[in-house]
Amino acid sequence: MRLCNYRPAGSVEPLQAGMVMGHRVVPLATALGPGPLGPRRLATALSDTAPAVLGGGRSVPLADVELGPPVCPVPTFRDFHAFEDHVRTARGRRGLEMVPEWYELAAFYYSNPGCMLGPGSPLVMPRHGEWLDFELEVGCVIAREGIDITAEEAEGYIAGYTIINDWSLRDVQRREMKVGLGPAKGKDFATSLGPFLVTPDELEDRRAGKGFDLQMVARVNGRELGRGNWRSIHYSFAEMIVRASAGVTLWPGDVLGSGTVGTGCILELGPEQTGGWLGPGDVVELEVERLGRLRNEVVAAPPLE
């Protein structure tokens, strides 16, 4: 299944949960009740009976709707560092070697679940930094409650996958990381999710390595800047779930990010090779096979009164 949250394009109506079938969205109001697909509705939406009770309204063309984050609200967001190529290159640009601890545990940081953007939503240029960057990632959404989840059980906790853009202010991040704590203000202003929540069965035939043989592409203003493959991931989402749930309860709707795929950000590629950091007017499109395309435009912050 491909699930989404949507509203009529150009409206201010509340988001509603839907199932994407081809190029149309079928409302899930009868199965879930009104409102978006959120933590409390995940179990019902993923059940075998959900498709049998679809209805409550006519399907609408995808082209006629505005999509929000595929899970709303997000209880917590943990972002990992799971692609070795990205970590090695990014550290190398700073003159740093890989540390052995990276291979011993799946590291992550917490970011702000209250600043989630959907596909098409504008990213307002933050005022507190200048080096704005995108990050091409895959995310998984947790389906059910669990603590101290084992490696054998972990995949059963995955509701589905989505694309993540972990927006970053690199000048701010550089300074705060020197303190040895963070990142914080270099990351917490926005994260984009979408366009869909794609259930694991939709990807199973492309399983490869610790991920899936699916291309991941980043474009800015229509120009391809980075390309990677999910199969190159060093830590699987099952391993991330084991790590994240150690001594802590994961809840339905929690989001785990993979971290950036190799060549999936300006920091790694070098601003001198990409035309510089992002700014107002730039359009970022992140695409992952079978997961869709996540598009956001950077806009200028309104003037301070």
Q: Using one digit for the tens of pLDDT, what is the confidence trace for 78-91?
A: 999 999 999 999 88
Residue 55, pLDDT > 80, answer no
- What is the average pLDDT across 194-214? 98
Strand, helix or coil for residue 290: coil
- Both 138 and 230 in one domain: the answer is yes
Residue 195 counted as domain residue? yes
- Both 148 and 217 in one domain: the answer is yes
Residue 305 counted as domain residue? no
Domain span holding position 282: 77-299
Answer yes or no: are the C-beta atoms of 82 and 242 closer than 8 Å: no
pLDDT in tens, 167-201: 999 999 999 988 988 899 999 999 999 999 999 99
For 41-51, give one letter per residue: b (16+ CB within 10 A) or e: bbebbbeeebe
- Both 46 and 184 in one domain: the answer is no
In the DSSP assignment, the letter for residue 97 is P
Residue 229 counted as domain residue? yes
- Both 126 and 211 in one domain: the answer is yes
Domain total of the chain: 2
pLDDT in tens, 35-51: 999 999 998 888 865 55
Res 47: pLDDT: 81
Q: Closest Cα partner for 194 from 93, 284, 103, 83?
A: 284
Residue 251 counted as domain residue? yes
- Both 200 and 83 in one domain: the answer is yes
- Both 162 and 289 in one domain: the answer is yes
Residue 245 counted as domain residue? yes
Residue 304 counted as domain residue? no
Domain end among 33, 67, 101: 67
- Both 141 and 171 in one domain: the answer is yes
- Both 217 and 260 in one domain: the answer is yes
- Both 49 and 83 in one domain: the answer is no
- Both 60 and 18 in one domain: the answer is yes
- The CA distance from 120 to 195, in Å, is 9
Residue 213, pLDDT > 60, answer yes
- Both 147 and 44 in one domain: the answer is no
- Both 242 and 100 in one domain: the answer is yes
Residue 218 counted as domain residue? yes
Q: Check which CATH number belongs to the domain holding 207 and give it.
A: 3.90.850.10
